[in-house]
Amino acid sequence: MSVFDSLFAEAKTARETAYVPYSRFKVGAAILTNNDSVVSGCNVENAAYPEGTCAEAGAIAAMIRAGSSRIKEVVVIADAALCTPCGGCRQKLKEFADNDVKVHVANLEGLRRTFTVGELLPAGFELEEQN
């Protein structure tokens, strides 16, 4: 099984556990960490809409909790033509991934498109100068 296939399966499983009583739009994300473990997250809505959590943010929180600090590869899945990470999640991914890290965007049937973190956020916020 390829890395993509493993991440796709995990993201798809995570998507099914999403808490989305308002939008009914489920999203799952899976991350391959620098420790070669796979963590995942799902979107969790709240009645105060902006207070919800994206799947990518949930997966990053799980990664940190598991003791990893860097992202090697990502899959985001939703039942949509192309569900790329939102702007906030693009910045979150940038915090923990190099610009060349692959972010695969999938629908329920499979891969739709692959981007790099740098393509998704070419001029993201940086607190300190990067070499």
Residues known to be catalytic: 56
Q: Which amino acid is at 95?
A: E
Place of tokens 């796979």: 38
User: How far, in Å, CA of 17 to CA of 78, rounded?
Assistant: 12
Rg (CA), the chain: 14
Q: What is the DSSP letter of 99?
A: T
